[in-house]
Amino acid sequence: MELEGKEKLGWILKTGWLGRCPHCGKGRMFASWLKLAKRCDACGLDYSFASPDDGPAFFAMTIISFPLVGFAIWLELAYSPGWWVHLLTSGPLILGSCIASLRPLKGWIVASQYVNKAEEAGSEELARRLRARDAGL
């Protein structure tokens, strides 16, 4: 499957955010909340290529936390509420939003890695040898 431009971006967003296999779009990407499945239950795609690492947490903190921290600062400056108001509003908003976004962001990163055939820089030779070794098993 060779996608270009908007088709490629649309496929990555659709499969990644929904937690679907980036190859077939049907199987599940996750075995549990944040744990990737070993392989797609529809087409058999092996997810061992995926290496999202800390990407989902970084994007969650960047995209979600910064605006919500801005809300907390605005709330403090505009109304000067007691600390308990922040405990009941700002804390749960930030924590809940970041946790809820981790799975879609992880799916997006894994789908991007698959569609864009991502590999670590300088590891092409190592990847070729590992694929050859695995094929011989």
Q: Please indicate, yes or no, if residue 17 is contained in any of the structural domains.
A: yes
- State which residues form the domain around 100: 5-119
Q: What pLDDT shows up at residue 130?
A: 77
- Which parts of the chain register pLDDT below 70? 1, 120-123, 137
Structural domain tally of the chain? 1
- Quote the pTM value: 0.80
Measured distance CA(114)–CA(8) in Å, rounded: 11
pLDDT tens by residue, 31-70:
999 999 999 999 999 998 898 989 999 999 899 888 998 9
Is residue 133 within 8 Å of residue 96, measured between CB atoms? no
Q: 58 Cβ partners below 8 Å, 6+ apart?
A: none
Measured distance CA(123)–CA(61) in Å, rounded: 30
The DSSP code for 61 is: I
Is residue 106 within 8 Å of residue 17, measured between CB atoms? no
Q: Please indicate, yes or no, if residue 132 is contained in any of the structural domains.
A: no
- Locate 128 and state its tokens: 């070729």
Cα 104 to its chain centre, rounded Å, is: 5
